[in-house]
Amino acid sequence: MSELIFIIKCFVFTMILTVVMQVKVGNSSMEQYSQWWLTKSSVSIYIQSVAAGGALAIKNLTSSVKNGVTGTVDSYRQGSKAQAGR
């Protein structure tokens, strides 16, 4: 029964938060203000740049691993062809 009460409390809290976020302050709603803050604040810009750097590092890592594996496999293929030709 306590799980059901928890779910109902979460639902009520979500409904209240949704209604509050639609309140207009000036020409914009609270939702628009919070979205602007989340995308334009200095903290979010820093986090976005860190995430972009991490994505670039992963891309470079995967390409270097792929090139290393491809080079190793190619060298083994060339070695086996040379031995087969003897």
Domain segments of the chain as ranges? 40-86
Q: Which long-range contacts (CB under 8 A, 24 or more apart) does 16-21 make?
A: none
Q: 30 near 20, Cβ under 8 Å?
A: yes
Measure the CA–CA gap between 35 and 44, rounded to whole angstroms. 11
Going residue by residue through the chain (86 aa), what tens digit of pLDDT does each one get?
899 999 999 999 999 999 999 999 888 899 998 888 888 888 888 998 999 999 999 999 999 999 888 877 777 676 666 666 55
Q: In 3D, which of 36, 34, 41, 38 has the Cα closest to residue 20?
A: 34
